[in-house]
A = this chain, B = another copy of it.
Amino acid sequence: MTDRVLIKDLPALADGPVSVSGWVETVRDQKKVQFVVLRDESGAVQLVNPRNSDDQGVVIADQPATTISALTQGSFVSVTGRLKHDERVKLGGIEVKLETLTVASTAIAETPIAVDSGIDKRMDWRFLDLRVPRNALIFRIQTTLEHAFRTYWIDNDYIEIHTPKLMGSPSESNAELFKLDYFDTTAYLAQSPQFFKQMAQAAGFGKVFDIGPVFRADPSFTSRHATEFTGVDTEISWIDSHEDVMHMQEELLAAGIAAVKEKHGEQIKALFDIDVVVPTVPFPRIPLLEAKRIVAERGHIVDRNDDDMDPEGERQIAAYVEETYGHEFVFLTDYPTSIRPFYHMRSDEDPTITKSYDLIFRGTEITTGAQREHRVDVLEAQAIEKGLDPEELAYYFDFFRYGMPPHGGFGMGLARVLMLLLHQGNLREVTYLFRGPTRLTP
């Protein structure tokens, strides 16, 4: 490994020889002195190279001056020089006086995108777009958030599973399904790990989670939909109701966001101008019917031909919760059976209501969770009632026939959480490489 120092670690070092590597952000090639701003994954530093002159005061074309004059933006270089602390230097109060500069790779002299380029153009050049510190920070935050989720679960004795993405039959529905030729048969890409994480309950695993890609052949072009995204899924046994799932999810999110605030709070403030708020638990809970009444009182009539909330309703209820409880999250509970999948358990008292919930974060839904129906006879009846073919679900029902504990769980879109946490308007900003109906590259 080269013995380079990360730029973020330079300020703590004493003046003296250092070695740094990164890419060229700007070059100011002046007559008497050259300045290069060098950036690496941790920060940026000014390199300075006073030019040498001959006796007549004519600048000499020596090294590294000649190389610097030819440097293109984006080229990757390794540098040795002497670190000097100098309060007058705007960029961090330090500079490195150049001794040697080695070009690892010269960028072509072209900058296809600028900070104000449209999002689609930026996605075309995502590898350049991600050099912007603010954009790169998103993926450090994602790393921290995910690791905190996993650590919470593992500390609580969960098993991490990797469910298959190739399936022999459609999972939840025949809509929005990608299919492919699979040797002599047809395979389907998993739309969620739902059935497989339930299988872990039949297997007696107790508590599981799964973070991995899910696929939806969804032709929409909204800012909130993708054809492939990272799903954060969990399923646990021996719950009394969906309340147990909600309780776990609020603890998980609080732990994750606390970790993000601790590790990146200052940088998020600096680059996004956001004060990360660690949510208090419990999160507010409002039954959907009640939420609709509240929203109606605020002047918004949900106008849909099913019983669901609409996006404006989600924003309105979030605004109400923010005003009333000072909270960015709200669980909407007791969703009607009509708009929930067949495997959601229904209320004993009122079978038109499921033991399920959506979680709204800053006005946008990030999760659907529920207690699942574990009684196979009830489950089959509900599937048939929803118009599904029991034949196609036979392997799934088998999971239940040989014994199944009461259980429930949720699925959460990782990018949605990040998008809302960082006040972004579009999933594309918080997805490493976005996939949509017209976006398969890079």
Contacts and interface: CB of A to CB of B under 8 A. Distances in A.
Interface residues of A, number: 107
Contacts of A189: 180
B196 A4 contact: no
Contacts of A433: 163-164, 196, 199
B206 A405 contact: no
A389 to B, nearest CB: 16
Contact of A107 (B21, B22, B169, B403): B403
Contacts of A426: none
Contacts of A405: 21, 23, 76, 104-105
Contact of A205 (B41, B108, B166, B204): B41
Interface in A294-319: none
Contacts of A158: 143
A269 interface: no
B179 A180 contact: yes
A244 B165 CA distance: 33
A355 interface: no
Given A104-B374, A104-B406, A180-B189, A39 B160 contact: no
A77 to B, nearest CB: 9
B213 A162 contact: yes
B205 A139 contact: yes
A204 B166 contact: no
Contact of A1 (B40, B78, B106, B238): B238
A403 B76 contact: yes
A399 B127 contact: yes
Contact of A140 (B159, B165, B179, B237): B159
Interface string A238-277: 1110001001000000000000000000000000000000
Contact of A182 (B136, B151, B440): B440
Per CB-CB distance, the 7 closest pairs between chain A and chain B, nearest first, are: A168-B440, A41-B206, A107-B403, A130-B203, A180-B180, A74-B403, A168-B441
Given A23-B405, A147-B151, A167-B440, 14 more contacts: A40-B206, A41-B206, A74-B402, A75-B403, A104-B374, A105-B403, A105-B405, A163-B432, A164-B432, A169-B441, A179-B180, A180-B181, A199-B433, A212-B213
Interface of A: 1-2, 4, 21-24, 39-42, 72, 74-76, 78, 104-108, 110, 112, 126-131, 136, 139-140, 142-144, 146-147, 150-151, 154, 158-169, 178-183, 185, 187, 189, 196, 199-200, 202-207, 212-213, 215, 217, 219, 227-228, 230, 237-240, 244, 247, 374-376, 395-396, 398-406, 414, 432-433, 435, 437-438, 440-442
22 contacts: A21-B405, A72-B403, A74-B403, A105-B405, A106-B403, A107-B403, A112-B402, A126-B203, A127-B402, A136-B159, A136-B204, A147-B150, A147-B151, A150-B150, A162-B432, A164-B213, A178-B180, A182-B440, A183-B437, A199-B433, A212-B213, A398-B442
